[in-house]
Copies of this chain bind each other. A is one copy, B any other.
Amino acid sequence: MSTTTAAAGTAAAAATTASALTVEEWARRARKAAAELGVSTTQQRNDALTAMAAALQANEDELLSANARDVEAARAAGTNEGLIDRLMLDHARLVGCADALLQLREFPDVLGEVIDRRTISGGVEMEQIRVPLGVVGMIYEARPNVTVDSAGIALKTGNAILLRGGSLARHSNDALIAVLREALASTGLPEDCICPIDATSRETSAALMGARGLIDVLIPRGGAGLIAAVVEQSKVPVIETGSGNCHIYIERTADVERATAIVVNAKCQRPSVCNAAESLVIDRAALSSLLPPIVRALRERGVTIVADSESYPVCAQTLDEDGLAGGDGDGDGSVVAGLEHATEADFAAEYLDLTISVKVVEDYREAVEHINRYSTHHSEAIITSDEAAADYFLARVDSAAVYANASTRFTDGGEFGLGAEIGISTQKLHARGPMGLRALTSSKYLLHGAGQVRA
C-alpha cells in the first residue's frame, strides 16, 4: 500500500490545487480541455473511466484519510449526523463510486448520435448530430460521491467539468479530484477535463455564476436555498434541480390499502430525498373513510401530521382513539402529540423529514389546482380507481413526473432506465425530470456542400 499512497501523495502535490487558480483561469483551462475531449473517441473516454475507477481504489488510504480530516472537522464544528453521513466515505462507498464509473462505460456513447439527416437546397447534405455541451459547472453540497459521479458523467459525455463542492468536503474533494485528474492524464486526455473550484470562498460561486461564455451550463445540486440563489443570480444558463415538494393525492375512489402503502412508502422510506412525499391531498368525501387508516400508519412510523382545519379533527380523533400519540383514548380529540395545525407556508414546505402536510379538496379538479399552485414541479401521484380522474390528473398536473397509483419515490435516473443521473431537473427548458447522459449534450448541424449558394 505504501507505494500507491506515495504515488497519490505525489499526484496531489503535483496537481494544481483548487485555490491555486481563479475561477476564470480554471474555466479557461476547462474550455481548452473540452475542445480536446469533444473530439475524443468513445474508446478513449471509456478507457479514462476505467483508469479513474482503478485510481480511486489504488488510492483508497489517501482518499479515506483526507475524508477523515473533513469528517473530524465537521464533527468538531457540531455538524448534524445527517450531513456527516452524506460527507463520510468508507471502503464500501469508495467501491460504490468506482463501480459507478465502471458502469458508465457500459452505456452506449450518445455523442455523434444522428438526430436528423436530410438533403437541403441544391443538394447540400445536412446532418444534425449530438455533441457535448462543453463546460459544465456544478455547485453542490458536501457529498464526495457527487464529485465522482459528476466527473464520470461529464467525461462520458465529452464535457469538461468545474466542481465546486461544499466546503465541509474540501479535503475529500481535493484528494478525489487530484486522483481523477492524474488518472485522466495517464490515458492521454487533458487533466483539465476535471477542475476543482475553491470551496472555501463564497466568491468562487459568484464567479461561476458570472462566467457566461466560459461555462455552458451551471447545475446547482443541493438544498432549496442554494438552488434558488443560483437561479436568481446566475448569468450562465442554469438547470434547476432537485427541490421536491411532492404530493400524493387520495381521490375518493382510492383503494385504502393501496393508498396507505403508497403514502407510507413515499413519505417514510427515505424522507430526506427530493422524491419523498411532503403533502397529502385528500377528497372531502373520503375524509372519514380513507384518512384514518393512513394517519394511523404514518403515526406508527413516527410521522408528524400537519393538518389543515378540515382534516385536523379527523386526525385528532383517530389518534386520540388509538391512544397512539398522546391521546387519552377518550375520543374527544384532545391532547394529541404528533399533530399540528397547517399554515399556508406548510403547503409550500419541503420538510425532508418525517413530517407531512394534509390538505382537503372537493375533487380532483381542486386537487390539481392546489398541486399546481404549491408544487415544485418534481413528482406527484394520484391514488384512484377512477380512470377519468387519473387521466385528468396526469394530463393537467404540471410536474416532471406524474403518477397514477404508484409511489413518487420511483423518480430517479436509475429507476427510469437512464443509468447515470446528474440530477433531477424541475424546470422545463433543456431537460425535465431525471437527467441522464443526453441531458449533458447539445446538437450541431454539419453541412457538406459542393459550392452551393442560397438563391
Contacts and interface: CB of A to CB of B under 8 A. Distances in A.
Interface of A: 35, 38-39, 116, 118, 120-122, 124, 126, 128, 133-134, 212, 216-217, 231-232, 235, 237-239, 255, 257-258, 261-262, 264-266, 269, 372, 390, 394-396, 398-407, 409-411, 415-417, 427-430, 432-433, 442-454
A454 B39 contact: no
> What does DSSP make chain A's interface, helix, strand, loop or mixed?
mixed
Contacts of A404: 447-449
A449 B216 contact: no
A34 to B, nearest CB: 9
16 contacts: A38-B396, A120-B410, A120-B416, A121-B415, A216-B428, A237-B427, A266-B453, A399-B444, A401-B445, A401-B446, A402-B446, A405-B448, A406-B451, A406-B453, A410-B452, A432-B444
A134 B121 CA distance: 34
Interface centre among A232, A261, A404 (most CB of B within 10 A): A404
A296 to B, nearest CB: 18
A35 B116 CA distance: 31
A261 B442 contact: no
A428 to B, nearest CB: 4
Contact of A402 (B120, B402, B429, B444): B444
Given A133-B428, A402-B444, A433-B445, 20 more contacts: A35-B372, A38-B396, A116-B417, A118-B417, A120-B417, A212-B232, A231-B235, A257-B451, A404-B449, A406-B447, A406-B452, A407-B449, A409-B454, A410-B447, A410-B452, A411-B445, A429-B430, A429-B442, A432-B442, A432-B444
A401 B124 CA distance: 13
A446 B433 CA distance: 11
A141 B427 CA distance: 28
Contacts of A265: 453-454
Contacts of A427: 216, 237
A432 B428 contact: no
